[in-house]
Amino acid sequence: MTGSTGTMVWSSDGTRIAYVGTGGKVVNGEHLFVVALDGDGAPENVTPDLAATVEDIVPLRGGEELLAHIGYGVNGSYRRIAWDGAIHQTWVEGDPWGAFTSAPAPSADGSLVAGIWEEPTSLPDIWVLDRRTGNVHRRTHLNPEIEALGLATQQIVSWESDPGVTVEGLLLTPHGDDGSKPYPLVVQVHGGPTSRWSNGWFGGWSRWGQLLASQGIAVLYPNPRGSTGYGSEFMNALVNEIGGAEFRDMMTGVDALIERGLADPDRLGIGGWSWGGYMTAWAVTQTNRFKAAVMGAGLPNMVSDNSIGDIPAANLSYFDEPVYENLEPLWERSAMRQISNCTTPVLILHGEADGRGNMFQSVEMYIALRELGIEHEFVTYPREPHGIQERKHQIDLMERVSRWYRERLLD
């Protein structure tokens, strides 16, 4: 098979190997595959109908069963999986509010399972599940001061995009929100695009929800087509369609929140990191509705990105032909092709040592905006790879992001 594979696990009797593999064209592990060592070596997808994403697996009781971290939409849950693909509830009926965001760590006898759990109002901590009683116990409490703050209200929202397509996301509104008035709204787009927003903590340098909500700005975290957590068909919907289906999914989400009286149509912003940066650049060339945008480590030119990034195969999995044989489909879905349509002020952020989304993608965007006379600011961070790691840089980035939106959506 082609595509990526995840952690491999031996069965307890040594006759089979299980791993997480790709179920469609897009290069991303999503299903559980099993290979029998005494057969022809052909892997079998034992979860072909799973409308979710298997993100990681570990052996349970020495490999008698498997314990998986599965993304079910915005939820991140642990499930037991038999070697024939049957999925069982791990500890209680129904999952508590929040999300597991790590691979599970079971005890030797499988009765206890440790993992990293996060909630909208608390940062990630280690929790332990007792499968014998169904109880969940918190074992660390690393940031108690956070829970004392006036944090944003977080809710799961959904809406219809194209006919028959339901899209899910998370909405953060400022502390004390009673639903009586619309707020300025920022759409923050996730990376990937084979990734998803989960129902956890939205704080830190790359998740701006709590920061912006503290300023009086609501934030929508959509999981448009292309996201993990909703099955192969949903994730593979972007093949030959990047910038199309996902853009419609996001904009219909914005419209739904406006119709529900939750968002101010005259004070809209957009932003994101990595693929979220791609979608930010693309969005501001497709619509003039956004008053502020933040493009972080983005790729406004799909053609040149394919030659200077470190994972060209990821881009190629969305197109039928390699860029060197036919560049037109990639160029057609590049923001640079239609950059003259942009009127939105854009803050561009990038790490200078980024090998995933090369910094020169942002240089292209910067030069184009400068030559067209579009309001912009371009900031690079020395030594930083694809993710910003140094604390002073993270603080600087968050201050810039907050100010950029605040000055254009609130002042």
Per-residue model confidence (pLDDT) at position 134? 76
203 and 347 inside one domain: yes
Residue 336 domain-assigned?
A: yes
Q: How many domains does the chain have?
A: 2
Q: Which helix (H) or strand (E) holds 366?
A: helix 359-372
Per-residue model confidence (pLDDT) at position 131? 81
- Rounded to an integer, the average pLDDT of 28-55 is 91
Using the predicted structure, report yes or no on whether residue 269 has a pLDDT greater than 90. yes
70 and 193 inside one domain: no
What CATH number corresponds to the domain at position 192? 3.40.50.1820
Per-residue model confidence (pLDDT) at position 93? 53
213 and 85 inside one domain: no
Using the predicted structure, report yes or no on whether residue 41 has a pLDDT greater than 90. no
Residue 367 domain-assigned?
A: yes
Query: Which DSSP state fits 163?
Result: T
Residue where the block lists tokens 């694809």: 386
- Rounded to an integer, the average pLDDT of 5-30 is 89
Residue 1 domain-assigned?
A: no
Contact 289, 268 (CB under 8 A): yes
Contact 281, 298 (CB under 8 A): yes
- Rounded to an integer, the average pLDDT of 360-380 is 98
Q: Say whether the peptide bond before residue 163 is cis (omega within 30 degrees of 0).
A: no
Nearest CA to 22 out of 10, 38, 33 is that of 33
219 and 272 inside one domain: yes
Using the predicted structure, report yes or no on whether residue 379 has a pLDDT greater than 90. yes
306 and 179 inside one domain: yes
Q: What is the pLDDT of residues 306-320, one digit of tens each?
A: 888 888 777 788 999
Q: What is the pLDDT of residues 203-215, one digit of tens each?
A: 999 999 999 999 9
Contacts of 285 (CB under 8 A, 6+ apart): 335, 337, 338, 339, 341, 342
126 and 206 inside one domain: no
Q: What is the pLDDT of residues 95-141, one digit of tens each?
A: 667 888 999 999 998 889 999 999 898 899 999 988 888 778 899 99
174 and 302 inside one domain: yes
Q: Would you name the residues annotated as active-site residues?
A: 274, 386
189 and 131 inside one domain: no
Per-residue model confidence (pLDDT) at position 130? 87
Assigned token pair, 128: 């332990």
Q: Would you list the DSSP string of 206-254?
A: T--HHHHHTTT-EEEEEE-TT-SSS-HHHHGGGTTTTTTHHHHHHHHHH
Residue 267 domain-assigned?
A: yes
Using the predicted structure, report yes or no on whether residue 4 has a pLDDT greater than 80. no
Q: What is the pLDDT of residues 78-105, one digit of tens each?
A: 999 999 999 987 655 556 678 889 999 9
Residue 183 domain-assigned?
A: yes
Beta-bridged to residue 380, according to DSSP, are 350
Q: What is the pLDDT of residues 184-233, one digit of tens each?
A: 999 999 999 999 999 999 999 999 999 999 999 999 999 999 999 999 99
Rounded to two decimals, the pTM is 0.95
Which one of 110, 144, 178 terminates a domain?
144
Which one of 144, 177, 193 terminates a domain?
144
Residue 199 identity: N
What gap in Å lies between CA 123 and CA 125, rounded to an integer? 6
β-strands 218-223, 183-189 pairing: parallel
What CATH number corresponds to the domain at position 58? 2.120.10.30
Per-residue model confidence (pLDDT) at position 307? 84
282 and 389 inside one domain: yes
Nearest CA to 226 out of 274, 194, 190 is that of 194
What gap in Å lies between CA 394 and CA 376, rounded to an integer? 20
Which one of 144, 161, 194 terminates a domain?
144
Q: What percent of the chain has pLDDT over 90?
A: 78
What gap in Å lies between CA 34 and CA 181, rounded to an integer? 52
Contact 366, 359 (CB under 8 A): no
Domain housing 166: 149-409
